[in-house]
Chain A
Amino acid sequence: GAVVSQHPSRVICKSGTSVKIECRSLDFQATTMFWYRQFPKQSLMLMATSNEGSKATYEQGVEKDKFLINHASLTLSTLTVTSAHPEDSSFYICSARTDNTEAFFGQGTRLTVV
């Protein structure tokens, strides 16, 4: 199946700093990628839909100025958590779909803000 690579897998940052997470589709072109957030023992919550060459579509309640998404090419989307605070600590996962079938997920990024 298709491969989605996400980096870094773990990051610890200081409160007030920004963190960038990369999501790459390695063997296919993804016009649309999705960013999810997952708290312990909870399901995936969609944060935003990232569209190549255009602005991301954010879900209700997600601060677009805090979670900056850039989809500069058909194989790369980035999520930047700006001015991170401890409450932003979570597991962030990206995914991509080649058509209206299965989604391919990255390995996830464990963000800890101290």
Chain B
Amino acid sequence: SQKIEQNSEALNIQEGKTATLTCNYTNYSPAYLQWYRQDPGRGPVFLLLIRENEKEKRKERLKVTFDTTLKQSLFHITASQPADSATYLCALDMGTGFQKLVFGTGTRLLVSP
């Protein structure tokens, strides 16, 4: 069966440390993988997109890796801040003609001062 799994437990880290979130999938062949941030009671907000032929993507303090062999993406937040506390969702995009995104279970990140 098709599955997208993220760390089910909340991730607690201290301010200034690097947070690493994992997204694993099975029985999918995504053309793109996207990461979103969701705050309580709000819709998700886009953060980064990485294509299947890209190994790594960076944007300010964020870094995403994509390993299509392992079927895994890692999402890193360096120099984390309490304002980074939120739920982070990975989403698979099958590419042209499909349009719809399939979301993972999400990981809640808590950054303590």
Interface residues of A (CB under 8 A from B): 1, 4, 6, 32, 34, 36, 42-44, 46, 49, 91, 93, 95, 97, 100-108, 110
* Shortest 6 CB-CB contacts between residues of A and residues of B: A105-B43, A102-B46, A44-B103, A43-B103, A43-B105, A108-B43
List residues of chain A with CB within 8 A of the CB of B41.
91, 108, 110
Majority DSSP secondary structure for residues of A touching B: strand
Partner of A107, one of B34, B42, B104: B42
Say whether A49 contacts B99, CB under 8 Å.
yes
- Asked whether B79 is an interface residue with its Cβ less than 8 Å from the other chain, the reply is no
Number of contacts between A and B (CB, 8 Å)?
A: 59
List residues of chain A with CB within 8 A of the CB of B103.
36, 43-44, 46
Interface residues of B (CB under 8 A from A): 31-32, 34, 36, 41-46, 49, 89, 91, 93, 95-96, 99-106
List residues of chain A with CB within 8 A of the CB of B95.
100
Say whether B44 contacts A105, CB under 8 Å.
yes
Chain B residue nearest in CB terms to A31: B99
